[in-house]
Structure 1
Amino acid sequence: QRSPGGRGIIALRSTARGGSVSTITAMLTEGAEVTVPGHEVDTVVTEFGVAELKGKCVRERMEALIRIAHPDFRAWIRDEAERQKIVPRLQVPAFQPARPALAATAPGVTPTTIRLGTFCDLSGPNATVGMAALRGYSAYYGHVNHWGGVHGRRIELVVKDDRFDPDRTSAAARSLVEVDDAFAIVSPLGTPTNLAVMDYFLSRGIPVVSPHSGISAWSSPLRRTYFALQPSYRVEGQLLAQYALAELRPGRIALFAVEDQFGLEGTTAFQAELARNGVQPVAVVTHAAGESDPAAWLAALQAHEPDLVLLYTYVKPAADLLEAALAAGFRPAWLGSYVISGPDLFQLARPEATQGLRATSYPAGPRDHRGEVLFRKIMAREYGDPLPGTHSRIGYAAAQLVVEGLQRTGPELTRDGFVEALEGLKDWTGGLLPPISYSQADHRGLTALALMRAAGGRWLVEKGLMRLREPQQEDNP
């Protein structure tokens, strides 16, 4: 710039870290080193064009830089600039822009709000799971409300604590529908609890989106008002068996499972896949939901000397068994469902007890999607949780799915329109999960999983994506 006709030029790629972050941001992070003051930069160049900044005001500079940012991050940069009041929205005192007049178009829908309902365990045996899921979906609904809601309506979420008790769930479901007038039920937690109220919701025509459970009943047989998101336990059981036989190659396999629909569906699929390969488990040890007798469980497993134990149970009994096994020096390989793959396991069992445990988890979304960055940022800001776990992730992703359906339905929101909007989703993702599609004939959601491994009290990714190998895929190379 000191030479005649000289200019300050910065050339850079629009993204870094494999496309996961934007190199153009509304503001540098606190403590970042500044090497070139903004007023000395005349021109910035990326693969998306050239931004001429000299002589322009802050708003003009922002718009010029947004035009050369990666398309996936442009809306985020503008939102951040406005949120941080670097470039505030135009506000005229006593003036509000005209909006289309909204009406109460369906139960739970007013001109200003959309009331959604859910139930979860906040004070019972699976409260750690319930709290994690609640944080996930509450964070996203709060984010949507911060930016004006959906078509001018704020989302109002009514949460009932059922303590993972189906009788309490039945009362909660009736209250949500008949007292709170919920438009839809979103992310309801648990297999036995959801099964207890499924017929009631079907009889009332209430949309139910993403039950926080993986039994196949939510999508098979097809029920028009039910939309699954999580992979089914049937698919997971098959995947776990295929992985165990191909990768771990154990000589003696034992199963430890809870006696409910979750445990039954997963272990039945696991055993069927073993049988298809000529393998039978040496032992199947089960326990009632809510039971805690790790000494008896451990004795039953040890008697058969397995070198691999499948855990198809909830977090608390899994942690109790792992602690008992550690104390007894019983160290088989452990393999578990995604139900136990959250950070809450490490709150109940020491790192030494969980070391080496493998469990499925939800696969990551596209690397170039900003949804993952936003998820971590919101969870860290709202809950001080920079590394949210499996249950927070699926709760947040489910909320993204609900909001997408509401947005696509439009201002004239009805339950039938909402169902049709969800059925029209094709290869959609909010960034946390791989793309999913629904149709009038398919409400399954995800059909793939990742595999995690416990090490030092945290989860590490062992396999980023596992897809089910169908019999014909193996027979026809």
Structure 2
Amino acid sequence: MAKSYRALGLAVGALALTHLPAAAQTKVTNEGISATEIVIGTHQDLSGPIKVWGVPVSNGMKMAVEEINAAGGINGRKLRMILEDNGYDPKRAVLASQKMIERDKIFAMIGPMGSPTVLAAQDILFDAGVLQLFPLTAAEFTFKFDPAKPQERLKFNNILPYVESTRAALKYMMEAKNFKKPCLMHQDDEYGKSVLDGFTQQLDVMKVPAASVTSFKRGASDFSAQVAKMKSDGCDLVMLGTVIRETIGAMGEAKKLGWDVTFLGASPTNVLEVPALGKETVEGLYAAAAFEIPYEDTAKGKVKDWLVNYKKMFGADANTQAIIGYNAITTFAHYVNKAGKDLTGQKVLDSLESGDPFQDIFASPPTKFSKTNHLASTVTQVQQIKNGRWVLMKDSLSF
């Protein structure tokens, strides 16, 4: 009898051991999925320092939602998108995320805006089992996950990452133009630190010392001290970990000083607003980029139709940001559709990790994820502003 109890005890113990990983399984919510709709959320900067990103991104998202719903939804379910303004403020991003989880019962957070804002709010999502998909920041914390922390599997990104794209663009520029004294001016936050990491890692590999590294506080508008320092340090290439107005400000300051130096922007500088607002100040700027920016007078086929429809809907020209927002929703729709009619959070997670590629209409590199890799692509281009337009200089770059 004792023997059989002992055997039973061992068997129960073995059973308990086999169930250990199940306890560490990723919990994915089914909230927001009903027979007729899928509720999704996003928080954008609609009123703060990067609303030139937030507004067109949310427009692109709205356009995709409208198109999908007009075509009957995804396997009969319409998308309902909850949009909140984060003002590029981490505290507001946290409050908006809590509201969307608790009140709106969102299924997934799609394309939330900004490095500091996404970082502040993402753990709240993971604790609730809410997927964080394709945020508008390419910082590593949006796709690198610790396999020992199963809730971190809920993050996926399809944006060109800052570290890798900075490295690829910098390598190309250093080799193509034979620069000897590269410098960096970067924003003092998570985004800027990623550009700094890419800059430093690439120079280390190339065994080239940085001639100068300087930073500025997010929201700053005076870059005279930083530019004067880089000029006196003898820089021949200036890498910019900036967004829009800081890019124009830094290049304007160099012009004031009569300093003719080559500027290379990290990927957030590769937007239509930089040449539109900076005009001749930014002529010649190079930038890391993910895809060619389409212009209405040269675009063809589906892309041309898309540009025309966007202008009709929003009374403005579509830009990079609108494309990124549109792609965030269409990518989500692709994987939800693949997950089938009997929809659950787990099935969407499995679909995302299936390795099935998604191809957008803009000829970007295909989006593809796996169980171990939640970053879609690291293939980089370098573009340059010539006569007020972004022109492709070199594509398919890596480091």
TM-score w.r.t. the length of structure 2 is 0.85
Shift of residue 456 of structure 1? Answer: 2.3
Which residue matches 2:240?
A: 311
Which residue matches 2:202?
A: 273
Of the candidates 395, 419, 431, which is equivalent to residue 349 of structure 2? 419
Change (3 A) 1:206 1:215: same
Equivalent residue runs for 1:225-240 within 5 Å:
225-240=154-169
Shift of residue 363 of structure 1? Answer: 2.7
Is 2:33 the partner of 1:109?
A: yes
Shift of residue 295 of structure 1? Answer: 2.1
**1:435 counterpart letter in structure 2:** P
Matched residue SS, 1:284: strand
Aligned-residue Cα RMSD (Å) equals 2.0
Which residue matches 1:355?
A: 283
**1:239 counterpart letter in structure 2:** A
Of the candidates 327, 332, 338, which is equivalent to residue 402 of structure 1? 332
Deviations 1:210-258 (A, max 9, x none): 0111112222125311111012112112112211221121122111001
Which residue matches 2:128?
A: 204
CA distance in structure 2 between the aligned counterparts of 1:380 and 1:196, rounded to whole angstroms: 34
Change (3 A) 1:323 1:364: closer
**1:255 counterpart letter in structure 2:** L
Which residue matches 1:378?
A: 309
**2:140 counterpart letter in structure 1:** S
CA distance in structure 1 between the aligned counterparts of 2:90 and 2:201, rounded to whole angstroms: 29
Shift of residue 155 of structure 1? Answer: 1.0
CA distance in structure 2 between the aligned counterparts of 1:161 and 1:248, rounded to whole angstroms: 42
Is 2:96 the partner of 1:167?
A: no
CA distance in structure 2 between the aligned counterparts of 1:345 and 1:164, rounded to whole angstroms: 19
CA distance in structure 2 between the aligned counterparts of 1:278 and 1:145, rounded to whole angstroms: 53
Deviations 1:306-331 (A, max 9, x none): 12100012212112212222233222
Matched residue SS, 2:72: coil
Is 2:258 the partner of 1:335?
A: no
Which residue matches 1:191?
A: 115
Is 2:323 the partner of 1:393?
A: yes
Change (3 A) 1:165 1:331: same
Is 2:65 the partner of 1:141?
A: yes
Shift of residue 417 of structure 1? Answer: 1.3
Which residue matches 1:439?
A: 370
CA contact (8 A) 1:362 1:390 kept: no
Which residue matches 1:150?
A: 74
Matched residue SS, 1:118: strand
| Richer in helix (by share) | 2
CA contact (8 A) 1:363 1:448 kept: no
CA distance in structure 1 between the aligned counterparts of 2:163 and 2:72, rounded to whole angstroms: 40
Q: Which has the higher contact order (CA 8 A, sep 6+)?
A: 2
CA contact (8 A) 2:145 2:153 kept: no
Equivalenced residues, count: 359
Which residue matches 1:87?
A: none
CA distance in structure 1 between the aligned counterparts of 2:206 and 2:226, rounded to whole angstroms: 27
CA distance in structure 2 between the aligned counterparts of 1:144 and 1:400, rounded to whole angstroms: 8
TM-score w.r.t. the length of structure 1 is 0.72
Shift of residue 439 of structure 1? Answer: 1.3
Deviations 1:187-212 (A, max 9, x none): 00111111101211111110111011
**1:269 counterpart letter in structure 2:** G
Deviations 1:364-418 (A, max 9, x none): 59xxx965345334323323455x3222222111111111112112222221111
CA distance in structure 1 between the aligned counterparts of 2:396 and 2:200, rounded to whole angstroms: 19
CA contact (8 A) 1:121 1:164 kept: yes
CA contact (8 A) 2:334 2:358 kept: no
CA contact (8 A) 2:241 2:266 kept: yes
Which residue matches 1:283?
A: 212
